[in-house]
Amino acid sequence: MNYLLALALLALPALASAQSFAPTLPPVKTTSFPQDTVRITQFGAVPDGLTANTKAFTDAMEACSRKGGGVVLVPRCHWRTGPLTLRSNVNLHLAAGAFVQFSDNRADYQLIKTNWEGLDAVRNQPLLYGKNLEMVQKGRTPEGEWKKLVASGGFLNEKQDRWYPSEQSLKGTTVKEAGVLTPEKSEIKDFEDLKDYVRPDFLVLDGCQRLLIEGVTFQNSPAWTVHPMRSQDVTVRDITVRSGPYTPTPTPWTSNPSTGPWWKAAPST
């Protein structure tokens, strides 16, 4: 009893010390954008859910950036686009009800040098990409579906329990550290035979400062969904990530749903 009492008395100062400790963290620098607003429709964007509006998005952000920054407004509607590169001091703002659908054509995504799980690597460019920017706002397959996939073409692995849409996608599973830059493979061209395997992330902000990601829903990313890396003063508020049933890492920051599709698993037996 005395021994337990002594332990309790020893623990009390430690508990009091922990409760009185106040971490001294540096304040987060928030974003502030000019009020100048341009609409993507001013640059030829067509809201029919069919037309590729990549150029309109890009031209709108570029024009806004040249003026010193501001807001690029995406009105309520269904917009199709290819991958986009964000700009400094630009608030890409989706109005309530705006739906931006990215291309499912793998040829639209170019290989770039980037970082993958802490390693210098080559990947397909993300759906939304920013590098060295400042102030940017912004399972198992059912049996019936599995049979349709196999009948549609594509490739199966040796165990016949994984489906891939192309030979490149399957080949990547047989290569150790596929996509990782090494002294022997140091150029983007060295990875062209694995292009379909190195899936694009949804949003990557690399080496950026003063970022705001707020009030937006990300759905069906081919790889990681929201990936601010090597960045400072990042504010993430009220976002939603909707992942498909084929993700090996079902956390909000590392979701791997099935857009593409890039691979699918056979139904469990």
**pLDDT at 44 exceeding the cut of 70:** yes
Nearest of 235, 234, 238 to residue 215 by alpha carbon: 238
Q: What does the pLDDT read at residue 255?
A: 33
User: Mean pLDDT throughout 184-193?
Assistant: 91
Domain definitions of the chain by residue range: 37-112+119-146+199-242
The residue type at 269: T
How do residues 146-162 score in pLDDT, each as one tens digit?
Answer: 677 778 877 887 777 77
Q: Pick one of 2.40.50.360, 3.40.50.720, 1.25.40.20, 2.160.20.10 as the CATH number of 37-112+119-146+199-242.
A: 2.160.20.10
Q: Cβ–Cβ contacts within 10 Å for residue 203, how many?
A: 23
**pLDDT at 79 exceeding the cut of 90:** yes
How do residues 119-142 score in pLDDT, each as one tens digit?
Answer: 899 999 999 999 888 766 664 556
Q: Exposed, middle or buried by CB within 10 Å (0-12, 13-18, 19+), for 243?
A: buried
**pLDDT at 13 exceeding the cut of 70:** no
Give residues with Cβ within 8 angstroms of 50, minimum separation 6: 80
**Please, which residues bridge with residue 37 across strands?**
71
**pLDDT at 178 exceeding the cut of 50:** yes
The answer to whether 210 and 134 are in contact (CB under 8 A) is: yes
Average pLDDT score over the chain:
80
**pLDDT at 25 exceeding the cut of 90:** no
Buried b (16+ CB within 10 A) or exposed e, 129-161: bbeebbbbbbbebeeeebeebeeeebbeeeeee
Q: What does the pLDDT read at residue 138?
A: 60
Q: CA-CA distance, 201 to 180, in Å (whole number)? A: 16
Taking the CA atoms of 172, 173, 178 and 179 in sequence, report the sign of the dihedral they define: positive
The alpha-helical segments, DSSP class H, found in the chain are: 2-20, 54-66, 143-152, 167-172
**pLDDT at 80 exceeding the cut of 90:** yes
Query: Phi and psi at residue 194, in whole multiples of 5°?
Result: -120, 15
Q: CA-CA distance, 117 to 149, in Å (whole number)? A: 30
User: Mean pLDDT throughout 235-244?
Assistant: 84
Q: What does the pLDDT read at residue 223?
A: 83
